[in-house]
Amino acid sequence: MRTTTTEHVDVVVVGAGLSGIGAACHLQRRCPDRSYLILEARDRIGGTWDLFRYPGIRSDSDMHTLGYSFSPWEDTKAIADGPAILRYIRDTAQRHRVLEKVRTGHRVVSAEWSSEAAGWTVDVRRADTGEVSRLSCAFLLMCSGYYRYDRGYTPEFAGTDRFAGPVVHPQQWPEDLDYAGKRVVVIGSGATAVTLVPAMAQTAAHVTMLQRSPSYVVSVPSEDGVAQRLRRRLPPMAAYHAVRWKNVALMTLSYQLSRRRPRLMKALIRRGAQRQLPDGYDVDVHFKPGYNPWDQRLCIVPDGDLFAALSQGAASIVTDQIDTFTERGLTLRSGRELEADVIVTATGLALLALGGVALAVDGESVRLPEKVTYKGMMLSGIPNLAFTVGYTNASWTLKADLTAEYFCRLLNHMRRRGYDRFVPAGEDLELTREPLINLASGYVLRSVDEFPAQGPKRPWRVHQNYALDVLDFRLGKVEDGVMRFSRRRPEPIPPW
C-alpha cells in the first residue's frame, strides 16, 4: 500500500543509533536554518547499544573516544556496559532536543535522486502498518551502521538439529535464557566471545571458548586514573577533551607500533597474557594468532577479566575445529568431545552497506561496489549524499563526529554560495580501487565486495588516522577541485 505525501525536509538522517543521534545534534547546533528528520527502522533509538542484550555487553573502546566530542562522558568506567552507553545516547538526544525529530518504526527502503528537482525522493515503510510513504529531501545522511539487524552470521555447522539444548546467537539473545549451573560452549574468538565468556562464567557451571584460531587479547583498566584526576582539577569539557586526546595518542601509538614493529608488539601482547595466566598455560596455542596485530581488530578485556576466569578454572579455551554438533554437544576435528547444555555461536555479524537502501540516480540504480568513497563519507558520482562509517583502528565516534561536522560545514558553505548540489567527481578511479575496509577478519572478507571501494590517495583514500582527519575535515578546503558544486537555476541577475 502506498500513500504519496508532499512532506519535504532539507536533510533526512537514516538511523537513530550512536551516529544518527550525534549527527542530529551537530545539525541542530551548526545548521539551525536547515530542517531535518531522523528515520529509524526499529522501535527504539540506540542502534547497536539497544539491539545487543547478551551478558556482559560492553564497549571495547574507551568512552572518552566512543563518546561524542560535544557531550562529556562522566561515568567512572572508561570501558562501559551496553545499558550505560544506551543511557548516554538517550540523555544526549534529550539534552539536545533531537528526540522530537526521530520517527521510529520507519524503514527507508529506497531513495532516488533527481537532477531536475535537485533532490532525493525517499520511500519509507512503516513497521506497524506496512504502509509505504514518500517524502523528499535535499540531502541524505546515512547513519545506518554497517551490518544487518535481522540476523547475525552463523556458518553452516553439521548436525545442529541433533543438539538438544539451546543454540543462541548473541545478536538474538533470549531474555529468559537460563544458563546458571550449566555447561556452556561459546563458539568464536572475537570481541563478543571474549566478552561473553567471563560474564557467563560468573554463574555457569563452566564456560568453554571454542576457537578455530586465536586472537590477540589485551587487558586494559576499566577505569582511567588520569581521567579521574583531571576531572577533579578541570571543568568537565576540558578534562574530557584532554583524556580524549591522550587516548587518541595512545591508540595511534599502539596501531603504528603494530604496523611498523609487529614482532615487538606481538612480544608485548604475549607477555601481557602470560603474566595474567597460570604458570604453564599454553599461551602459544590459545593466544598466538597467525597474523600480525591489527591485521584484525585486537580484543580488549577490561581488567583482564577473561584471564581471571581462565585462571580460576571457571572458563577454558579449546583451539580446534568443529566436526559436528551432537545430541550432547560437539565433536571436534581432533576427535575430542565437548559436552554442553547451551551453545552460543559468537560467530559474528552479517555486514550490510548503507542500511540496505536501494539507491538510484536519475532513474539508474546505483551499484555500490562500482563507487569510490570520498573522505570515507561520500560516494563518487552520487549527489547530496553522505554516510557515516567509523574507524577500524579507533573508536567509531571519532570519525562519526568528524563526518557530521564536515557535512554541516559543506551545507553552510553551499548556503553561503547559493549552491544546491554537491557531487564528488572522480577521474581514473577505475584503475586504482582497493577494498574499503582494511581488516583481514572473516566477517569483512565475506562481504567487502558488496561495499564501495577506496582510491589510492586523498580524498579518495580512507586514512584511518584521526589526527590527520581533524586537520583535513576542519581546515581543508571544501572546494578542493574534486568536489563539484552547482545550482539548479542560475541566480537571477539583478536589473541594475
Ligand X SMILES: Cc1cc2nc3c(=O)[nH]c(=O)nc-3n(C[C@H](O)[C@H](O)[C@H](O)COP(=O)(O)OP(=O)(O)OC[C@H]3O[C@@H](n4cnc5c(N)ncnc54)[C@H](O)[C@@H]3O)c2cc1C
Contacts with ligand X by CB under 6 A lie at 14-20, 39-42, 47-48, 52, 59-61, 66, 107-108, 143-145, 149, 192, 355-357, 388, 390, 395-396
Cα dihedral: 273, 279, 282, 287 (round 10)? 0
482's grid cell: 574534486
Pick 175 or 428: Cβ nearer ligand X: 175
Q: Closer CB to ligand X, residue 192 or residue 254? A: 192
Three-class DSSP labels, the chain? CEEEEEEEEEEEEECCCHHHHHHHHHHHHHCCCCCEEEECCCCCCCCHHHHCCCCCCECCCCHHHHCCCCCCCCCCECCCEHHHHHHHHHHHHHHCCCHHHEECCEEEEEEEEECCCCEEEEEEEECCCCCEEEEEEEEEEECCCCECCCCCCCCCCCCHHHCCCCEECHHHCCCCCCCCCCEEEEECCCHHHHHHHHHHHCCCCEEEEEECCCCCEEEECCECHHHHHHHHHCCHHHHHHHHHHHHHHHHHHHHHHHHHCHHHHHHHHHHHHHHHCCCCCCHHHHCCCCCCECCECCEEEECCHHHHHHHHCCEEEEECCEEEEECCEEEECCCCEEECCEEEECCCCCECHHHHCEEEECCEECCHHHCEEECCCEECCCCCEEECCCCCCCCHHHHHHHHHHHHHHHHHHHHHHCCCEEEECCCCHHHHCEECCCCCCHHHHHHHHHCCEECCCCCCCCCCCHHHHHHHHHHCCCCCCCEEEECCCCCCCCCC
Name the residue nearer to ligand X (CB basis): 105 or 165. 105
Taking the complex as a whole, how short is the minimal distance between the CB of residue 335 and ligand X, in angstroms? 34
Are 379 and 372 in contact by the 8 Å Cβ rule? The answer is: yes
Q: Rounded to the nearest whole angstrom, what is the least distance from the CB of residue 14 to ligand X in the complex?
A: 5
Work out how close the CB of 390 gets to ligand X at its nearest, in angstroms, rounded to a whole number.
5
Closer residue to ligand X, CB minimum distance, 325 or 473: 473
Cα(385)–Cα(422) distance, integer angstroms? 9
Nearer to ligand X, 393 or 414 (CB): 393
Phi and psi, residue 494, nearest 5°: -60, 145
With respect to ligand X, which residue has the nearer C-beta, 46 or 459?
A: 46
From the CB of 274, what's the least distance to ligand X, in Å? 25
> Least distance (Å) from ligand X to the CB of residue 326?
29
* 31 vs 39, beta carbon nearer ligand X: 39
Between 163 and 396, CB nearer to ligand X: 396
Shortest distance, position 57 Cβ to ligand X, whole Å:
6
Contacts 24+ apart (CB under 8 A), 336-340: 338/185, 338/208, 338/210, 339/183, 340/163, 340/165, 340/183, 340/184, 340/185, 340/208
Question: Shortest Cβ distance from residue 341 to ligand X (Å)?
Answer: 24
Return the closest-CA partner of residue 65 out of 475, 452, 455, 467.
467
Q: Which is nearer to ligand X, 395 or 454 (CB)?
A: 395
Query: Which residues are CB-contacts of 430 (< 8 A; sequence separation ≥ 6)?
Result: none
User: What residues pair up with 10 in beta bridges, in sequence order?
Assistant: none
* Smallest distance from ligand X to CB 485, Å: 27
Query: Between 153 and 419, whose beta carbon lies closer to ligand X?
Result: 153
Least Å distance between CB 354 and ligand X?
8
Please state the closest distance from residue 404 (CB atom) to ligand X, in A.
11
Nearest to ligand X of 66, 184 (CB atom): 66
CB of 374 to ligand X, least distance (A): 18
Nearest residue (CB) to ligand X, 88 versus 149: 149
Closest distance to ligand X from the beta carbon of 43 (Å): 9
CB of 116 to ligand X, least distance (A): 25
Is the CB of 23 or the CB of 414 nearer to ligand X?
A: 23
